[in-house]
Structure 1
Amino acid sequence: MISKEDIIKRFVSYVTVDTESDPESDTTPSTAKQWDLANALVNELKAIGMQDVSIDENAYIMATLPSNVDHDVPTIGYISHFDTTPDFTGANVKPQIIENYDGKDIILNEAENIILSPDYFEDLLLYKGQTLITTDGTTLLGADDKAGICEIISAMEYLIQHPEIKHGTIRVGFTPDEEIGRGAHKFDVERFGADWAYTMDGSQIGELEYENFNAAGAKVKIKGKIVHPGYAKGKMVNSMYIATEFINALPRMETPEHTEDYQGFFHLYSIDGKVDETTLQYIIRDHDKDHFEARKEVLQKLTNDINTQYGREVVTIEISDQYFNMKEKVEPVMHIVNIAEDAMKQLNITPLIKPIRGGTDGSQLSYMGLPCPNIFAGGHNFHGRYEYVPVESMIKATEVICKIAELTAKKS
């Protein structure tokens, strides 16, 4: 159906453009270099024959594939993001193509002895005999979510070239800054005009997700007192020691490395410490809304308890909600999940319906009035040097996009 060579060529052309986002920036997009790929995508959408192609002042891209049937069909959408995470460099990506993977170690970088091994990353063995695209060990790959963009554009091109496949109106949307939590912030749902949509932003082939974490961020500031250490007795207050008390008071086993499935966590991801002030940055995650609220209360109570212990305000905390579990918005329209599940089954893909241990643009969009489950894009080990994507998974994701459009036209 879809040419492997075309998928590889398109995907490589995307990942070799640096689009890393920046959480410290207050612009949209957060980095000017995101415009490089955004503008190229606009030109490509026009070139393949999409209609109403637009890009706004914030680099949000939209395009339309008109209906080719003469009866009413819901308008559906497909959405992906073109930025990559600031967690690991996305500059100078050098993809490596591994044909007919033999199930053994892959040497990503011989000089630096960086090896992608199935002994550690067992999922590799799922793709024995397939074509893998990996990094060279010095950057991330960018399959999150340039694989999704590649699949959406490839599917639109295929539907344009094969008008015998009947479908309703399809809307396409590409966003900046998803990796820093802002991908949906300036997305114009009304202008997009879809009844529902799918983000192509999952991992392993078969993933289909309509539940995600409730999410918040917490910034904890601890104030100390700095004096000369030779004359410090009774005067110095070392904020880093108080920070250690705070950290150790939280449940050690409720962290990302000790949790799975529906289990929530507290995640300390940044410490900036000196004697007179230390800042801790946490993210708080839980699928259950009541448990989520309880986690925020735990942090607030701990702050109050430490201040009581010291007899003054040494700790302050700011907690900000980030996104919520889209299950609440998708369950009333479960037929949109069922259509995706049927599409996978018809393509001999085993659906893996499970909660997202994270969030996507779809979680925010669902609360903005656009129900938006998440579908696999195929990549593994996102946000680091061991990232890879099987080409066959990208092809299957492209086929799922086409099949959903076909089934939606039939079911209506």
Structure 2
Amino acid sequence: MSLQYTYTVADRFIKYVQVDTQSDPQSDSFPSTAKQKDLGKILVEELLEIGLTDAHLDEWGYVYATIPANTDKKVPVICFCSHMDTAPDCTGKNVKPIVHKNYDGKDIVLPDDNTQVITTKAHPYLREKIGDDIITASGTTLLGADNKAGVAIIMDLANYLVQHPEVKHGAIRILFTPDEEIGRGVNHVDMKKLGADFGYTLDGGSLGSFTDETFSADGVTVTFHGVTAHPGYAKDKLVNALKVAGLFLDLLPKDHFSPETTDGRDGFVHPVHVEGIAEKVSVQFIIRDFDTEKLKKHEARLEEFVKQAVGRYPGSSYEFEVKEQYRNMKEVVALHPQMSEYVQKAMEQAQVPFKKESARGGTDGSRLSFMGLPCPDIFTGEMAFHGKHEYVSIQDMQKAVHVLVQLAQVWEQETK
């Protein structure tokens, strides 16, 4: 990259995280929260200022824009995508970003809640960031690096490429999505309008990480039905669905089968929401595994626990509903090995170590891959996401911008 270029990624990021864009899994609207469009409007204004004349926010809360090609070659159209929402797990209201310049490796005590301390013991990656400028929140909110770091990186890429027309590249499509954190991020993407051949999400973690494999995912809702009766006259009549559900949850294994007891390539079954009264209780689960076929096995085992609980309470009954959420992107991305090869080449040119990883989660790219847009994931530097200890290195974000500039050129250079 040009030695004269002044990165804008950190300033953009600090601005974006102060806009509350938390999504809401209990909402039936799309986007699930109207406030996500507040950031979308800001991004459109900035893209227009950069010079991307087609930038716009649609009715569903998606931001689309194009960096026009400046080469005579017929280069595949590449999409860079990030999501604007933050996770429901921790509040994203009134985020106060703090820059810790030239991080010295010591514990970071967050000022608005001194009990919130970010340590290298709990966050080993921080040891690699000594000397970097680290951004955290203030202790009462998440930061929003997931995924506003990705948004800021793509915005800085656009800014750089417009300012440096000597960098040859094909057409680049920009897509910013709402509601990724609640699994709805691409529900209303207009794939025809997007018009891209290949895509990359910017939603990864540590420097140099490249993810071409994610979990496959289902959602399961178990509904327990009891029998109601006046509690004063309930003997031999009342069957309390709350107790059936409680027994069911207690039957789940304590030492495996759950996210808190698995890692690596192990899948899991995870209850995420319980709601109900004595008559009826619903328990929502997420089911995850890298091997799509294993989802059915996990679900069958889960249903056996359901049957055991219902069997202990005569008169109770249940419903077991499975919904597909997303699938392992590797099933699609593996058909296009050049996507990984070009990223590796771009990282080498940017002097960033290339690390291929599997994600114990999913991204918009998981679903986009099965919608016709192969879409692996590139690092942003976002770490400890979904909680108050979230942080990001400014230098990691800048290096991600550099990698994208190189990647745009590699696609152009490799096109014959």
> Is TM-score (shorter-chain normalized) higher than 0.5?
yes
| Structure-2 separation of matches of 1:85 and 1:65 | 29
The aligned residue for residue 69 of structure 2 is 67
Q: Does 1:214 align with 2:253?
A: no
Q: Deviation at 1:34?
A: 1.2
| Structure-1 separation of matches of 2:385 and 2:75 | 36
- Which one-letter code corresponds to 1:135 in the other structure? A
The aligned residue for residue 381 of structure 1 is 384
The aligned residue for residue 54 of structure 2 is 52
| Structure-2 separation of matches of 1:148 and 1:288 | 28
| Structure-1 separation of matches of 2:230 and 2:203 | 53
Unmatched 5+ residue regions in structure 2? none
For the 8 Å contact 1:303–1:316, the answer to whether it is kept is: no
Q: Does 1:325 align with 2:290?
A: no
The aligned residue for residue 178 of structure 1 is 180
The aligned residue for residue 396 of structure 1 is 399
The aligned residue for residue 32 of structure 1 is 34
Question: Is the alpha carbon distance of 1:113 and 1:319 closer, same or farther for their aligned partners in structure 2, counting shifts above 3 Å?
Answer: same
Q: Deviation at 1:273?
A: 5.3
After superposition, the C-alpha distances for 1:23-60 in whole angstroms (9 at most, x for unaligned) are 22222221111121111111110101123222211121
- Which one-letter code corresponds to 1:44 in the other structure? E
The residue correspondences of 1:291-306 to structure 2 (distance < 5 A) are: 291-306=294-309
**SS of alignment partner, residue 214 of structure 2:** coil
Q: Deviation at 1:86?
A: 1.5
The aligned residue for residue 364 of structure 1 is 367
For the 8 Å contact 1:306–1:315, the answer to whether it is kept is: no
- Which one-letter code corresponds to 1:25 in the other structure? S
After superposition, the C-alpha distances for 1:104-162 in whole angstroms (9 at most, x for unaligned) are 11110265432111122222111111100000010111111111010001011111111
| Structure-1 separation of matches of 2:328 and 2:158 | 30
For the 8 Å contact 2:24–2:182, the answer to whether it is kept is: yes
- Which one-letter code corresponds to 1:71 in the other structure? K
For the 8 Å contact 2:77–2:195, the answer to whether it is kept is: yes
| Structure-1 separation of matches of 2:112 and 2:253 | 41
For the 8 Å contact 2:120–2:126, the answer to whether it is kept is: yes
| Structure-2 separation of matches of 1:52 and 1:355 | 35
Q: Does 1:263 align with 2:266?
A: yes
For the 8 Å contact 1:4–1:395, the answer to whether it is kept is: no
The aligned residue for residue 355 of structure 1 is 358
| Structure-2 separation of matches of 1:4 and 1:256 | 42
After superposition, the C-alpha distances for 1:215-268 in whole angstroms (9 at most, x for unaligned) are 111122223345566765534433333223322333331111111121100011
| Structure-2 separation of matches of 1:411 and 1:312 | 67
After superposition, the C-alpha distances for 1:145-189 in whole angstroms (9 at most, x for unaligned) are 111010001011111111121111111111111111111111111
- Which one-letter code corresponds to 2:271 in the other structure? L
Q: Deviation at 1:358?
A: 0.8
Question: Is the alpha carbon distance of 1:375 and 1:213 closer, same or farther for their aligned partners in structure 2, counting shifts above 3 Å?
Answer: same
**SS of alignment partner, residue 20 of structure 2:** coil
- Which one-letter code corresponds to 2:371 in the other structure? M
For the 8 Å contact 1:102–1:128, the answer to whether it is kept is: yes
The residue correspondences of 1:6-405 to structure 2 (distance < 5 A) are: 6-109=8-111, 111-225=113-227, 233-252=235-254, 253-272=256-275, 274-308=277-311, 310-405=313-408
Q: Deviation at 1:4?
A: 6.7
| Structure-2 separation of matches of 1:243 and 1:25 | 24
Deviates more, 1:384-393 or 1:265-274: 265-274
* TM-score under structure 1 length normalisation: 0.95
| Structure-2 separation of matches of 1:282 and 1:91 | 27
| Structure-2 separation of matches of 1:362 and 1:205 | 19
Q: Deviation at 1:308?
A: 4.8
What is the number of equivalent residue pairs in this alignment? 412
- Which one-letter code corresponds to 1:61 in the other structure? V
**SS of alignment partner, residue 52 of structure 1:** coil
For the 8 Å contact 1:95–1:133, the answer to whether it is kept is: yes
* TM-score under structure 2 length normalisation: 0.94
| Structure-1 separation of matches of 2:155 and 2:223 | 45
Deviates more, 1:237-246 or 1:392-401: 237-246
After superposition, the C-alpha distances for 1:294-326 in whole angstroms (9 at most, x for unaligned) are 112222343345445545442222221111111
| Structure-1 separation of matches of 2:273 and 2:362 | 20
- Which one-letter code corresponds to 1:374 in the other structure? D
Deviates more, 1:301-310 or 1:353-362: 301-310
- Which one-letter code corresponds to 2:206 in the other structure? Q
Unmatched 5+ residue regions in structure 1? none
Q: Deviation at 1:279?
A: 2.6
After superposition, the C-alpha distances for 1:8-30 in whole angstroms (9 at most, x for unaligned) are 21111100011111122222221
For the 8 Å contact 2:227–2:315, the answer to whether it is kept is: no
Q: Deviation at 1:5?
A: 6.5
- Which one-letter code corresponds to 1:198 in the other structure? Y
Deviates more, 1:195-204 or 1:301-310: 301-310
**SS of alignment partner, residue 20 of structure 1:** coil
